[in-house]
C-alpha cells in the first residue's frame, strides 16, 4: 500500500477504507483497551491522531514506542468525534520503524527555548516552530524563482569560489588546497602562485559582478545562492554563511531598481500568507502578535522614498536624536537604531533611502552628477532594518576605472569586469536581498540563527 502524507489525509474529502501513514510520534496516551498516537510526518504543522485497539501483539509493539519514535500505521481514515480535527485513523496494525529512547531523546512535550534548540539544530525541525519555519523557507525559495521567472528573468548560477572581492572590504574566507605546513613555509606573496588556481581564491561575498556580465548579455537575470562574510559580528542579524537574491537588469536605472525591490517584497509576503497560512498562524500567535498587522501594512502601502541627505537631517532634528547610541552624521552609514526609527516611528512603513555619499559605498555604484553621491538605494523595513541594498551600476569605463583606483584596488584584477564597459556598455542596475532577513520579516523571528537550518557564526561550526 502506498503511503499517504498526513497533510493529504487531513485534507481528504471523504473517509478512506484503507490508509497507510508513517511519521514520528509526538505523544502517546494509553487507555484501557486502546491507545492514542499523535503522529506528524513533516508535511504540515498538524498531527493526525491514530486510535489503536489493544491486542497482545499490538501491545507488545506499543510498549516500545515513545515520543520521537518513527512508526507505520495502517487502518481506516474516519471522521473524528474530537474537536479541532476532521479526520483520524482507526488503526489496524502498527509497526515501529525506529526507536527513540525515552531517557535520552531531547524533545519532549513542552516548550524548549530557542537557545537550547540551537544546540540540537539537527533535531529542532521536529518541533512545531522549526518545522513551520523550514516549510516557509522552502516555499519562499519557490516564490522567489516564480516571481523572477514570471517577469522574464533568467536564473544564473554564479561562482562560489572567486578571485574577486565584490565589496572591496577584504572580509572574505580564503580557499586553499595547500596544507598548513606548506602555507607556513611559503612566503605570503608566493602562496597564491603555488595554490590550486595559481592565485589567491576566496568564498564569494556576492554574485553581483558575475550577474552583471549576464545582464549585459541576456537582459534581465538573477542569482540566488549562498554567500560568505568573514566578519566577526556575533549579532542576531549576521551570519558567516547566508543566502542572497541578486537581480540585475540591463537598460535600467535607480528608479527601476527601487520599483522592483518594492514589488518583490510585496509579492513574497502575499505568496507566503496565501500558501503557508497554518504555519504563519503559529508565528502570529506565539512569536509576534503584531506580525500580521506589520505584514499587512507593508503589503498595502507604498514605500516611502527619501534621500540619504534628507534622512540624516530628519534623524538629527527628531525628538529622539539625543537618545541615539550612535549620533547620525553625514558621511556615516545608518545604524540599525536609525533604520528602525525611520520605519517604525517616523514613517511607520518601509523606507527606501537613496543617493548615498560616494565615500561609504563600493566602487561599482554609479557616480551622480553632483560628484558627491552615488545612485545607491537601501530598502529598510520595520524590526529588521536593511533588507535590500542595491544601486544603478557605473557603466562609464573611465569613471569606473578611477573609482577602482581611488579605493586602492588594482584595475588588472577586474579586467574582465571592465571589458563589459569597453564592449557595448549600457546602463544597468541591481540589488541584493538577504534571504534570511526576509524570513525574519515574515515570521517575526529576531535571530538569524533560527531561520537557517545550520547557522554558521563565529566559533560555531556544529553539525
Residue 188 — pLDDT band, cuts 50, 70, 90? confident
> Nine-digit cell at 345?
516611528
Say what the pTM is: 0.94
pLDDT reading at 184 higher than 90 = no
Give percent of the chain above pLDDT 90. 87
- What is the per-residue pLDDT for 169? 54
pLDDT reading at 420 higher than 60 = yes
Mean pLDDT of 247-266: 98
pLDDT reading at 163 higher than 60 = yes
pLDDT reading at 444 higher than 70 = yes
Which DSSP string corresponds to 67-125?
Answer: TT-EEEEEEEEEE--STT-SEEEEEEEEEEEE---TTT----SSPPPHHHHHTTTTTGG
Mean pLDDT of 349-365: 97
Cα dihedral sign, 37-40-46-50: negative
Half-sphere exposure of 7 (CA within 13 A, CB side): 9
- What is the per-residue pLDDT for 165? 67
For 31-61, what is each residue's pLDDT tens digit? 999 999 999 999 999 999 999 999 999 999 9
Residue with more model confidence, 165 or 235 = 235
- Lowest mean pLDDT, pick from 77-86, 283-292, 367-376: 77-86
- What is the per-residue pLDDT for 307? 98
- What is the per-residue pLDDT for 304? 98
- What is the per-residue pLDDT for 170? 58
Residue 237 — pLDDT band, cuts 50, 70, 90? confident
- Lowest mean pLDDT, pick from 102-116, 354-368, 393-407, 428-442: 102-116
pLDDT reading at 167 higher than 70 = no
391 contacts 385 by C-beta, under 8 angstroms: no
> Nine-digit cell at 136?
516557509
- Rounded to whole angstroms, the Cα distance separating 155 from 436 reads 20
Amino acid at each position: 500500500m502506498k503511503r499517504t502524507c498526513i497533510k493529504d489525509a487531513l485534507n481528504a474529502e471523504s473517509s478512506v477504507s484503507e490508509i497507510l501513514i508513517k511519521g514520528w510520534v509526538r505523544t502517546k496516551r494509553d487507555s484501557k483497551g486502546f491507545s492514542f498516537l499523535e503522529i506528524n510526518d513533516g508535511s504540515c504543522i498538524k498531527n493526525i491522531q491514530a486510535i489503536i485497539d489493544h491486542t497482545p501483539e499490538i501491545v507488545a509493539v506499543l510498549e516500545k514506542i515513545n515520543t520521537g519514535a518513527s512508526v507505520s500505521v495502517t487502518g481506516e481514515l474516519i471522521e473524528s468525534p474530537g474537536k479541532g480535527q476532521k479526520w483520524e485513523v482507526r488503526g489496524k496494525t502498527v509497526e515501529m520503524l525506529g526507536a527513540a529512547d525515552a531517557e535520552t531523546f531531547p524533545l519532549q512535550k513542552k516548550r524548549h527555548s530557542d537557545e537550547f534548540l540551537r544546540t540540537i539544530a539537527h533535531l529542532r525541525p521536529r518541533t512545531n516552530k522549526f518545522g513551520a519555519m523550514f516549510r516557509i523557507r522552502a516555499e519562499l525559495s519557490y516564490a522567489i524563482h516564480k516571481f523572477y521567472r514570471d517577469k522574464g528573468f533568467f536564473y544564473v548560477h554564479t561562482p562560489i569560489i572567486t578571485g574577486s572581492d565584490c565589496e572591496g572590504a577584504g572580509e572574505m574566507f580564503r580557499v586553499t588546497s595547500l596544507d598548513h605546513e606548506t602555507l607556513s613555509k611559503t612566503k605570503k606573496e608566493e602562496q597564491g602562485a603555488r595554490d590550486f588556481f595559481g592565485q589567491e581564491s576566496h568564498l564569494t561575498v556576492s554574485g553581483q559582478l558575475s550577474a552583471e556580465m549576464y545582464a549585459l548579455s541576456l537582459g534581465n537575470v538573477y542569482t540566488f545562492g549562498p554567500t560568505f562574510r568573514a566578519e566577526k559580528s556575533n549579532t542576531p542579524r549576521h551570519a558567516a554563511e547566508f543566502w542572497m537574491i541578486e537581480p540585475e537588469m540591463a537598460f535600467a536605472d535607480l528608479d527601476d531598481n527601487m520599483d522592483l525591490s518594492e514589488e518583490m517584497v510585496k509579492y513574497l509576503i502575499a505568496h507566503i500568507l496565501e500558501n503557508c497560512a497554518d504555519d504563519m498562524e503559529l508565528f502570529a500567535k506565539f512569536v509576534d502578535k503584531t506580525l500580521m498587522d506589520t505584514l499587512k501594512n507593508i503589503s498595502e502601502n507604498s514605500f516611502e522614498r527619501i534621500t540619504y541627505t534628507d534622512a540624516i537631517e530628519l534623524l538629527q532634528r527628531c525628538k529622539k536624536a539625543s537618545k541615539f547610541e550612535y549620533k547620525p552624521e553625514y558621511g556615516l552609514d545608518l545604524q540599525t537604531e536609525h533604520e528602525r526609527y525611520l520605519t517604525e516611528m517616523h514613517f511607520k512603513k518601509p523606507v527606501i533611502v537613496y543617493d548615498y555619499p560616494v565615500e561609504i559605498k563600493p566602487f561599482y555604484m554609479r557616480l551622480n552628477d553632483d560628484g558627491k553621491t552615488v545612485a545607491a538605494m537601501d530598502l529598510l523595513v520595520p524590526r529588521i532594518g536593511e533588507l535590500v541594498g542595491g544601486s544603478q551600476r557605473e557603466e562609464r569605463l573611465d569613471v569606473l576605472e578611477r573609482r577602482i583606483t581611488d579605493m586602492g584596488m588594482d584595475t588588472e584584477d577586474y579586467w574582465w569586469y571592465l571589458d563589459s564597459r569597453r564592449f557595448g556598455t549600457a546602463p544597468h542596475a541591481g540589488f541584493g536581498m538577504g534571504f534570511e532577513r526576509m524570513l525574519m520579516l515574515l515570521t517575526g523571528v529576531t535571530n538569524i540563527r533560527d531561520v537557517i537550518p545550520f547557522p554558521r557564526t563565529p566559533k560555531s561550526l556544529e553539525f
